Amino acid sequence: MEMKRRIGFIERGTEFLKLKRDHLAKELTASIDVLKGRRSILLENLRVAYRAVTAAYISLGPTEVRSQASSIKTGLELEVLPRGVMGVRYPFIKIEKEPQIAGELDITLSEAAEKVLAILDDILQLAEFEARAERIADELGKTNRKVNALENTIIPSYRQVIKFIEDKLDEESLEELVRMKLIGGALARRRE
């Protein structure tokens, strides 16, 4: 009885895990579609920004670029907070302070910096999304392994044990019945 109660519990757990797996798979598929779209747009924007940075370096020289970049007083400040979906935790990035590029930079460098700044939010969002997708995929893998282990190993082995016990009990009760019948027959013969 204990075993049967336990297997009922395990089967209910497996159903929950299957639901979780399906939900995670749905989340992952949606995330991958979004990622593909965002990534290609971001890559194009990155190319444009990188070209502008390259042009600034070639035009001004590396030391001058560094010197000018150092005059930016307010740098980028970020806060990384935890968020969760179906028990999967992923980082959420919040921009606390954006760099103030106005004023001090040469126009070449300031154009490049503006291009980088314009995609900064997209870069962070994409990084956050990638981390989310990666962790969902990781959790999906784990859940899948758990479901498979439960469905293919644990539940069948429990069923086997229960069947063995049931067979044993049936066998024993049959033996008992035969024994009772034999005793009953012997007693009846003695009374005659």
Partner 1 sequence: MSPGLPYLVVRSHALMADLLTPERMRALVEQESLDGFIEQLVDTPYGEISIEAEGEISIALEKVFYKKFIERMMDIVDLAPRNIGDFLQSYYYLRFEVVNLKRIIRGKFSGLPNTQIIESLISIVPYSVESYEGLASAETYEDAVLRLEGTPYESLIGSLELSEKYDAIWPVEIALNHIYARAVLKSLERLPQRDRVLVRRIVQAEADVENFLVAAKQRGAREGAHRPEEMFPATYGIGLETLRATIESDDIASVIRELDWPYIQILAPLYTGDVALIRSRLRQHIYDIARRGRAANDFGFNVVMAYLVFSEIEKDDLVGIGWGITQGIVPEDILKYLAIPNFI
Using the rule CB under 8 A, is 101 a contact of partner 1?
no
Say how far apart CA 129 and CA 135 lie, in whole Å: 10
Going by C-alpha positions, the residue among 1, 28, 25 that lies closest to residue 147 is 25
Closest contact distance (angstroms) between CB of 59 and partner 1 is 4
Of 27, 68, 126, 132, which one interacts with partner 1 (CB under 8 A)? 68
CB-wise, 63 or 188, nearer to partner 1?
A: 63
Tell me the number of residues near partner 1 by CB under 8 A.
Answer: 28
Say how far apart CA 124 and CA 118 lie, in whole Å: 11
Q: Answer yes or no: are the C-beta atoms of 147 and 14 closer than 8 Å.
A: yes
Using the rule CB under 8 A, is 29 a contact of partner 1?
no
Ordered alpha helix ranges (H), the chain: 2-60, 62-70, 107-149, 155-191
Using the rule CB under 8 A, is 93 a contact of partner 1?
no
Q: Return the residues of window 71-90 that contact partner 1 according to CB under 8 A.
A: 71-73
Q: Which stretch binds partner 1 (CB under 8 A): 104-112, 116-124, 148-156, 176-184?
A: 104-112
Say how far apart CA 94 and CA 107 lie, in whole Å: 29
Judged by the rule CB under 8 A, the positions of this chain that interact with partner 1 are 51-52, 54-64, 66-68, 70-73, 102-104, 106-108, 110-111
